[in-house]
Amino acid sequence: MTTRFEHNVADTRYEIYLDDTLAGYADYSEHADGDRRTRDFQHTLTFPEFRGRGVAAQVVEFALRDAREAGFSVIPTCWYVEKFIAEHREYADMVGS
């Protein structure tokens, strides 16, 4: 099984594909206040047929890495993103308001 990640800028979400089938995504809204740029992660979804495979964790980690590389702080409005950051403290420094 192949795994592919995409940042779908037009739909403001990060997507994960398993064997070229969309398996889930994490969507966000983007905010800017001067030089400060923030991505508010609002919802994470794994389609039912892909649940139990760590899909959500993989797409959230990809999204957080990409946001960090692009210089964004994050707001974990989505409960799953908040939980992921609590369990992976290496991303805690990204949380802003």
CA–CA dist 53, 10 (Å, integer):
27
pLDDT digits (tens, 9 = 90+) for 40-87: 999 999 999 999 999 999 999 999 999 999 999 999 999 999 999 999
Q: Which residue type sits at 30?
A: E
Interacting residues of 87 by C-beta distance below 8 A, sequence separation 6+: none
Q: For residue 34, name the pLDDT band (cuts at 50, 70, 90).
A: confident
Average pLDDT score, the chain: 96
Q: What is the spatial distance between Cα 41 and Cα 85, in angstroms, rounded to a whole number?
A: 12
